[in-house]
């Protein structure tokens, strides 16, 4: 993901939250650096680099002949490894303890900080879609009412049999209406 896109996504998701974001191009030659976010007692670090096979990168940056300008860093840089840890937690080099974890992508990291808004409200009537998972669970086209919302998963009370299904994904349902 390009740096500009990542910054827009971070600002949109953390809007209204108390956070501090710093963008640090490194003193080395080329396009390297990091983005550091401090929020809710967490430290998120994103390493910045560039893709070697990127045709849009100027030839001078490919050979690392000079340090990139801030504009080139923002235009051609890509988010690489993302690391999340508690603010007061540190890696211990004398033991095998490694602080924090590495989310797979930026969305997963931001979801851990600020849960995404729910697609359906509590009390909404939903119908299960015709897909492999719902067929395996024998829930295709059954109707239920959402009783609890947990971000992107829900607890659904089925109308037939008064049975409750926990942790149903929003992509397996559609609203009846």
pLDDT tens digit sequence for 86-119: 999 988 888 988 999 999 999 999 988 888 888 9
> What's the distance, CA 42 to chain centroid?
15
- Regarding whether 79 and 8 lie in a shared domain, the answer is yes
- Regarding whether 144 and 58 lie in a shared domain, the answer is no
The model's pTM is 0.70
pLDDT at 162 over 90: no
118 within a domain of the structure (yes/no): no
- Regarding whether 139 and 166 lie in a shared domain, the answer is yes
- Regarding whether 40 and 102 lie in a shared domain, the answer is yes
pLDDT at 127 over 80: yes
- What range defines the domain where residue 158 resides? 125-175
pLDDT at 30 over 70: no
């Amino acid at each position: 993901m390009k740096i500009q896109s990542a910054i827009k996504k971070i600002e949109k998701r953390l809007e209204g939250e108390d956070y501090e974001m710093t963008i640090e191009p490194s003193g080395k030659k080329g396009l390297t650096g990091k983005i550091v976010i401090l929020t809710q007692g967490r430290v998120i670090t994103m390493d910045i680099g560039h893709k070697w096979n990127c045709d849009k990168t100027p030839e001078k940056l490919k050979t690392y002949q000079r340090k990139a300008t801030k504009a080139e860093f923002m235009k051609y840089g890509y988010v690489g490894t993302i690391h999340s840890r508690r603010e007061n937690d540190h890696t211990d080099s004398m033991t095998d303890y490694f602080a924090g974890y590495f989310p797979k992508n930026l969305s997963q990291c931001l979801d851990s900080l600020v849960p995404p808004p729910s697609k359906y409200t509590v009390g909404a009537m939903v119908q299960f879609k015709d897909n492999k998972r719902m067929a395996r669970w024998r829930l295709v086209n059954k109707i239920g009412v959402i009783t609890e919302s947990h971000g992107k998963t829900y607890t659904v009370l089925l109308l037939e049999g008064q049975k409750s299904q926990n942790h149903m994904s929003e992509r397996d349902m559609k609203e009846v209406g």
